[in-house]
Each structure stands twice: as C-alpha cells, then as structure tokens.
Structure 1
C-alpha cells in the first residue's frame, strides 16, 4: 500500500487525514483507544508532548542569520501576515456573539490561520515565480510557524481590554521555550539542525491524530464550511495584501501573494494557546477544525490564485519572474 504517496497527494494530507480519522473514531468509538498505558498516552493524551517536540524541531530550522534584500522581504511578509490576521481577529473579538463566534468563526482560529503561512507552498511557488532572494526570505518568514505571533496578538488584545485573560510570564515562556531551545541547537550546529528537521515532518500525523481524539464529528460538521470561509479570507486578504505591498516596494508581487496560505502546523496553535491560558479553551475543538479546513482550502486555492495573478501581469507585458530578478 502506498499510504504516504496517497497522503502527499491530498493538500495538507499528513495533518488533515489523521485528524479527521481520529475525530471520526472518537465520535463513534470514543473508548477504543482509551485503554491506558502507552496506547492512550500516544494516541489520545499525547498531543501536548508531541506538539512541544514538534515546536522544538521546527525552531531548529529557523536560521537567525539573514541579511540584505532577503531580510527585508522576509520581514515584510512576516509583518503583512501578522497585521492582516491580527486586525481581522480583533474585529472578530469585537463583534463576536454570546457563543464567542463571529460569522461562525472562532477568533482564535482566524488569528492562528491568517498569521501562519504554509512554508512548503510558499517555497514551491517562489521557486517557480521568484528569485533566490524571494526563496531566502522564508528563513525569516518561518518565524510565523507555530503559536508565537498568535500569542503576541492575543496578549496585545488583552492589554487593550478586548480579550479576557492575559498570559502569565511563566505560561508564555513555557510554550515558547521548546522553540527557543530548537533555535539555539539549530544555529549552533548545522548537523543538529538537519537531524531535528526529520522530526518536523515525522511528528505531524501523530500529534494530528491525538488532537483529533479530542474532536467529535459534530464539531467537524459545524466547523467545515466556516473553515472554508476562513481559507478564502486567508488567500484573498493576506495574499492580496502581500501582492500590493511587494508591488509598492517594486519587488516581485507574486512572491508577496505567495504567503496567502495557512500552515499545516497551525492546526496545533489553538491547543498551544489554550495550554498557555485556559480562558481560550472554550472553542479550541472548533478552532482546530476550522484551521484544518483553512489549511486544505488555501493549499488548493492559492496556486490557482497565483496563476491568475501571473496571467494578469503577463497580459500587461510584465514577465514573471524575469522583470523582478535581482542579479
């Protein structure tokens, strides 16, 4: 059986398929894996530990040494994603109903989905439509993987009085410490970075399954359509914002639009946030499903949107990427 090849053909398959499989199992046979010892610790209760290890491995891939145009592009991409996601998230908090949702979306899902980008998809797109500085920009853009910038937005909203419950310093550090440890190891030793890189992808289906064991099928039904809406908003709001900001800087606008996606590992962000502050735990299950739906939606839609933008530019006589290649 070609299990991995099949999962690879499905957008976000390594994350979404195990999560939905576990959610289905949890709905119809919730006690099947809740038999104690290693089985339950790995497949049911292990999401926190697995996510922590995943964050450490991810942190090791972040290269803090970056200069010049690539640094400027990476910082611009990072800021654009965060500002757009934070603003839409703030609007969601301001207009959320009594159930804590806005247009059926959990605000924490909006921030998690819109401030994280799919690094593999970005690199693939700029590999075709960008130059080396666009590709190198990802070393800084990778900082938006995981819960850090989502936590920053929520902490700011708390200080402004829009969100109940601020993070304690200890809780904040306890979530970030695995990332920091990974960054230190990866930047001190290139071989350690390569070694830990294997864990970044290997752990995804396992913590996705454990997360799924906390979701029932009703939550998937309730979150699916709204999650697709979240994916559409991520592509057309963050992607389009990146397009026009890069165009204003006279950089390749296609590279700017290529960050309009949701990272597969953003599915773990709501759970990580809830671990740091229990006040955000109410809609974690729904938010997790919505982010997963956004991951799939953006993985499918963003390449189509990029193709549309490239065609429009070429119709205007702009050659992509030739007219924007930095020698």
Structure 2
C-alpha cells in the first residue's frame, strides 16, 4: 500500500490530508483521542512541541550568511499582512452601518483575522515547498500572534489609544530560541546539521494532524456566511498579497502566500480589545464567532489555494524550492 506516494500526488498532501482527517475526527468524535497519556500527547496536544522540534531541525540548516535574508522575508510578510488587514479594517469602519457592521462583519473581526496568521500552517507549507530561509522567517512572524497588531491598527486610525502590555518579549524569545539552538548546532557541526535535516520533512504530517485536532467544523456554521467570507478574503487577499510581494523580491512566492490564514489565538483578540477599551464590548460576541469561522475556513482553504499556486508554477517549469534558493543555499546543496 503506497501511502506516501499517494499523499505526495496531492498538492500539500503531507499537510492537507492529516489536517483534514483530524478536523473531521475532532468534529464528529472530539473525545476519541483525548484519552490521556501518549496518545493524547502526540495526536491532540503535540502540535506545539512538534513544531518547536521542526524549527530546531530547520534552524540547523541555516547558514549564518543567510540570517539577513530570513529576517528580510519575515519582516516583509509581517508588513504586508498587517497593511492589508489594517486597510480592510479601515474600510469597514468607514462604511459600517448603524449596527456597526460592514457586510455583516465586525471591523475588529476583520483586523484580528487578517493581521494574525496561523504559524503552524505557515511552517507546514514552507516545510514542503520552501527553503531554509523561508522556514527561519517564522522567527519574526511570531510577532503577529495575539492582539498586539490589531491594537496598533486601531490606534493608528484613532479607534482607540495604544495599550501597553500587549507585546511579550519573553513570548517572542520563546519562539526564536529553538531556531537559534538549531542554528548554533548546525554551524558548529556539519554532521549534526545532516542528522537534524532528516527531522524536517518527517514531522510535518504529525503536527498537521495535531493542528487539525484543534479545528471544529461547527465553528463555520456558528460564524455564519460573514465569518466564512472573512476566511475566504483572508486567504485570497492576504495570501495573494504575500505571493506577489515575494515574487517582486524574486523570493519563493509560495512562502509569501503561506501567510494567508487566521491563527486560532486570534479568536481571543476581540475580548482582549474589549478588556482594554469597553467601547468594543458590544462587538465581542459577533466578532469572536466570525474570527473563529475565519480560522477554520482558512485552515481548510489555504492548503487548497497553495496547491493551485504550486501547480501553476510547476506548469511554468518552476521547481520548488530549488529555483528560489539563495546563493549560499545553492552552494551548500551542491
């Protein structure tokens, strides 16, 4: 039975298939794997640990000469994602009706969903289609987790004042440290670099499954059509913006498109905003379910969109990720 070969014939199959299977299982039988011990630790609660190990293995492949490239890619994605989300949030405030909604969407839901990305999905996509600098870019992308950039957007166009305590330096370092440890090991010992390289691709289906166990299809129904549309817009608008931004720099555009998602922790952003400014309290409930619907929608739609973009590039004779390697990466793989 050729399971691996079958998965590889599906665009992003190593990520998409385990994620969707887990999401279906979590929706129809959420407690089936939540039985404690090793089973729950691996298949349900293991996403964070597995992604951390993936980042360490990836960090080991980074040559110190390419660190600047990784930071540049991370900063570009962070900027593009925020500008697009903030711009649509501004439109929502300008054209909102008397009920405070635009096209049925709460403006804070738009900003929260479109400026915050699912790091696990990004890692899964670039783990299959990206190179070492694309993966290391995640060290900066961790900055858009949580309500910080949503608050910045609201502050800039006067919806509220800037609120302290929304950015945690400790949390940022906690994301960065596994990459740094791997990078140190890989640059000190070539054999260790080769050893850890084996872990990168092997971990993808396992943390994809664990990510899927956090998806509940019922959230799509609860968020309604506006929430689904928010997820569709997040994938196609922010993902496409990232695609063309990376293409403009002659970087791998698939890595740019991989930011077209909404993170699960963005669901808590409306409540965090309301806690800082009571003026948003009336929008918390509707915004929360809409962001939740966007989270689930993008988790399903982004891998499909990535598959379409990959096929399109391959049809033009582009080989991923080889045609987008930096000079140092080409030299290392030669």
Distance in 2, matches of 1:246 and 1:277, equals: 36
Residue 87 (str. 1) matches residue 87 (str. 2):
yes
For structure 1, list consecutive stretches of 5 or more residues without a partner in the other structure: 19-57, 192-200, 209-216
Inter-CA distance 184–306: structure 2 relative to 1 (3 Å threshold)? closer
**In the TM superposition, what is the alpha-carbon distance from 1:183 to its structure 2 partner?**
4.3
Runs of 4+ aligned structure 1 residues displaced above 3 Å come to: 5-8, 11-14, 180-191, 219-223
Q: What is the aligned counterpart of 1:173 among 133, 148, 164?
A: 164
**In the TM superposition, what is the alpha-carbon distance from 1:127 to its structure 2 partner?**
0.4
**In the TM superposition, what is the alpha-carbon distance from 1:102 to its structure 2 partner?**
0.1
Residue 157 of structure 2 aligns to a residue in which SS? helix
Inter-CA distance 89–186: structure 2 relative to 1 (3 Å threshold)? closer
**In the TM superposition, what is the alpha-carbon distance from 1:321 to its structure 2 partner?**
1.3
Inter-CA distance 272–69: structure 2 relative to 1 (3 Å threshold)? same
Distance in 1, matches of 2:294 and 2:250, equals: 30
Q: Give the TM-score, by structure 2 length.
A: 0.66
Distance in 2, matches of 1:187 and 1:123, equals: 14
1:114 maps to 114
Give the conservation status (yes or no) of the 8 Å contact 2:220–2:296.
no
Inter-CA distance 244–6: structure 2 relative to 1 (3 Å threshold)? closer
Distance in 2, matches of 1:120 and 1:6, equals: 11
Residue 283 of structure 1 aligns to a residue in which SS? helix
1:130-189 CA distances to partner (integer Å, 9 max, x unpaired)? 00100000010110000110000000011xxxx3x434xxxx22444xx23544677799
Residue 166 of structure 1 aligns to a residue in which SS? coil
Residue 98 of structure 1 aligns to a residue in which SS? coil
> Aligned pair count?
245
Q: What is the aligned counterpart of 1:10 among 23, 37, 46?
A: 23
Distance in 2, matches of 1:268 and 1:185, equals: 20
Distance in 2, matches of 1:123 and 1:153, equals: 26
CA RMSD of aligned residues (A): 3.4
**In the TM superposition, what is the alpha-carbon distance from 1:223 to its structure 2 partner?**
3.3
Residue 138 (str. 1) matches residue 138 (str. 2):
yes
**In the TM superposition, what is the alpha-carbon distance from 1:280 to its structure 2 partner?**
1.4
Inter-CA distance 7–79: structure 2 relative to 1 (3 Å threshold)? same
